[in-house]
Chains A and B, each alone.
Chain A
């Protein structure tokens, strides 16, 4: 079993829709949770970072962590075509940083 599971998609939604991206994990040592956005042939860029259960909001993006269920989510409101990218969840415990497989998202105008 992989330490971090993420549905690879692809996911295609119309412009303006609310998008939900999810990851589950098995390692209870993970305490820090991140979401990255990666455009084609580029390095990932950090979108959001949290280390506590609950919600964290930044503009159109909301990161949600449920440590009891070992489940994290990223919500994108009022999605735009420029949000089309691959979204990667990442988690860290004491040492190494582990990534999910990435979900390829397309927002259709």
Chain B
């Protein structure tokens, strides 16, 4: 089945550690996105990528990094510089062209700092 797979589902991080969240899609989509969701705050855009080897900062990129070495993969690293990383992280992808712009989501990774 085609879709977007995020892993792990739950992740625990110690203070000062970097952690990487995985996002893989087999939909042949060009565009991929990372969002952070906090209670009562909706989805906030961290980074997005329209094409391989290119990505742009979203609204809350500080303390995060990404790479897009392959079309199907868009991993997100939460660095120690991110002071409040506990949140629900969602990855999405879309075909990216004008007539197929709707985005589809993975099931999310819940990150907790311990």
Contacts and interface: CB of A to CB of B under 8 A. Distances in A.
Q: Do A and B bind each other?
A: yes
A6 B105 contact: no
Interface of A: 6, 8, 32, 34, 36, 41-46, 49, 51, 88, 90, 92, 95-102
Interface of B is mostly: strand
Interface stretch (B12-20, B62-70, B72-80, B96-104): B96-104
Contacts of A44: 43, 90, 105
Nearest to B94: A97
Interface in B88-114: 88, 90, 92, 94, 101-108, 110
A34 B103 contact: yes
A98 to B, nearest CB: 7
A49 B88 CA distance: 24
Interface string B40-53: 11110100101000
A101 B41 contact: yes
A43 B4 CA distance: 10
A98 B43 CA distance: 8
Interface of B: 4, 6, 33, 35, 40-43, 45, 48, 50, 56, 58, 88, 90, 92, 94, 101-108, 110
B33 to A, nearest CB: 6
Contact of A96 (B42, B45, B105): B45
Given A42-B107, A43-B90, A43-B108, A100 B102 contact: no
Contact of B33 (A36, A45, A49, A97): A97
A67 to B, nearest CB: 16
A98 B60 CA distance: 13
A100 B101 contact: no
